[in-house]
Amino acid sequence: MANVVVVGAQWGDEGKGKIVDWLSERADVIARFQGGHNAGHTLVVGGEVYKLHALPSGVVRGGKLSVIGNGVVLDPWHLMQEISSIRAQGVEITPETLMIAENTPLILPFHGELDRARENQNSVAKIGTTGRGIGPCYEDKVGRRVIRVADLADRATLELRVDRALVHHNALRNGLGLERIDRDALIEKLAGIAPQILEFAAPVWKVMNEHRRAGKRILFEGAQGALLDIDFGTYPFVTSSNVIAGQAATGVGLGPGAIDFVLGIVKAYTTRVGEGPFPTELDDDDGQRLGERGHEFGTTTGRKRRCGWFDACLVRQTCATSGVSGIALTKLDVLDGFETLKICVGYELDGKPLDYLPTAADQQARVKPIYEEMEGWSESTEGARRWADLPGAAIKYVRRIEELIQCPVAMLSTSPEREDTILVTDPFAD
């Protein structure tokens, strides 16, 4: 059976939650493979709105196994609050439907404190983090001082891990003018949450390989977007993990051969939250209109998203770095009523044409978009479920995007509702 990776191909907020939920009906296992609760997915199912942050989108479907992989960093207290909230909406979550990898790093309270202190004191250039401790936790993982899920099962091990972490963090906090961490209070806090987290702990790498050998369909769910990737994003205004599709295998303990199809989620225009370069950003009425019609506010932070025209140059680049097999184009309906649409087909840098976004930050800030104009449409595309339901100009727009990004459209989403989707290519097809 085919296994599918879903990744955002822009700066996040592309509508991954709905697409993953739509695909999860056909999957047996849905696995989160990177990121933390800085991600936000909004699902609309039968009129019910679910807002997910750490939980995989598959939890709202019964009879599926949802997995939080080792590539994720997990705030245990936030997770239990989220589970409680989703349960209150009538969704059953048990150790049979949710597993957490035993080697998943834990976000602790001092990670968030450090995150916020750095951002508040950074007078040079703010990164625009959510302040939830994701970056500092990944730092501790690489620095070999993080506390992992499995450490919660043994008090002696837990104390040893905490002591190792505090040697580093108390020195940092001293330099930032923060109080020292109360070691004993932290250990007791972790001991208190341990039974709730350990209930879901499992050797996810083993379970995933068993499911793969049994021919189960696996859906790998990414967070954020490829342009926020720590290596290939608009550094330093990026997240702290690898977002691109190659991380899917590493983030759950499978080999790269487990990936059969990469679905890149792409919004029909471009948005970004926080700081960083944005070549096609609009500070005019068109940008305001896109934001209002698209309800462009972050699920996690509530921050207003910056809006701009579709950047085919950037999406072509992310399709290449993630090996995208096909894209799911979302929010086409937001473009209804525009007389003229623009697509960025390349850049100009110091008077010279360029067909990719350069790596150097100063060059990213200087590039100017080269636009191609297309005729808009006055008819509504909202809720369309067949190509025949779309205006001719909308179809031309979609086809031109395919040409420019050098990747076919596999799915087309025309509203937040699960069923308002046009399927062109089945990612799960053998």
Tens digit of each residue's pLDDT (9 = 90 or more) over 158-216: 999 999 999 999 999 999 999 999 999 999 999 999 999 999 999 999 999 999 999 99
Residues with Cβ within 8 Å of residue 150, at least 6 apart in sequence: 102, 103, 201
Residues with Cβ within 8 Å of residue 204, at least 6 apart in sequence: 31, 67, 68, 69, 70, 99, 100, 101, 102, 252, 253
Give the integer Cα–Cα distance in Å for 27 and 7.
16
Q: How many C-beta atoms surround the C-beta of residue 333 within 10 A?
A: 21
Among left, alpha and beta (phi > 0; psi -120 to 50; other), residue 398 is: alpha
pLDDT at position 393 is 97
pLDDT at position 74 is 97
Which residues are known to be catalytic?
A: 13, 41
HEC per residue, the chain: CCCEEEEECCCCCCCHHHHHHHHHCCCCEEEECCECCCCCEEEEECCEEEEECCCCHHHHCCCCEEEECCCECECHHHHHHHHHHHHHCCCCCCCCCEEEECCCEECCHHHHHHHHHHHHHCCCCCCCCCCCCHHHHHHHHHCCCCCEHHHHHCHHHHHHHHHHHHHHHHHHHHHHCCCCCCHHHHHHHHHHHHHHHHCCEECHHHHHHHHHHCCCCEEEECCCCHHHCCCCCCCCCCCCCCCCCCHHHHCCCCCHHHCCEEEEEEECCEEECCCCCCCCECCCHHHHHHHHHCCCECCCCCCECEEECEEHHHHHHHHHHHCCCEEEEECHHHHCCCCEEEEEEEEEECCEEECCCCCCHHHHHHCEEEEEEEECCCCCCCCCCCHHHCCHHHHHHHHHHHHHHCCCEEEEECCCECCCEEECCCCCCC
- Buried (b) or exposed (e) across 34-57, using 16+ Cβ within 10 A? bbbbbbbbbbbbeeeebebbbbbb
Instruction: For 107-160, write each residue's pLDDT tens digit.
Output: 999 999 998 988 887 655 566 677 889 999 999 999 999 999 999 999 999 999
pLDDT at position 321 is 97
- The pair phi, psi for residue 247, each rounded to 5°, is -75, -20
Query: For the packed helices 76-88 and 183-198, what is the interaxial angle rounded to 10 degrees?
Result: 40
Among left, alpha and beta (phi > 0; psi -120 to 50; other), residue 149 is: alpha
21-30, 263-272, 403-412: lowest mean pLDDT where? 21-30
Over residues 304-310, mean pLDDT: 94
Please tell me which residue, 387 or 416, carries the higher pLDDT value. 387
Instruction: For 8-50, write each residue's pLDDT tens digit.
Output: 999 998 988 778 878 888 899 999 999 998 777 777 777 788 8
For residue 173, which of 219, 134, 118 has the smallest C-alpha distance?
Answer: 118
Percent of the chain with pLDDT over 90: 79
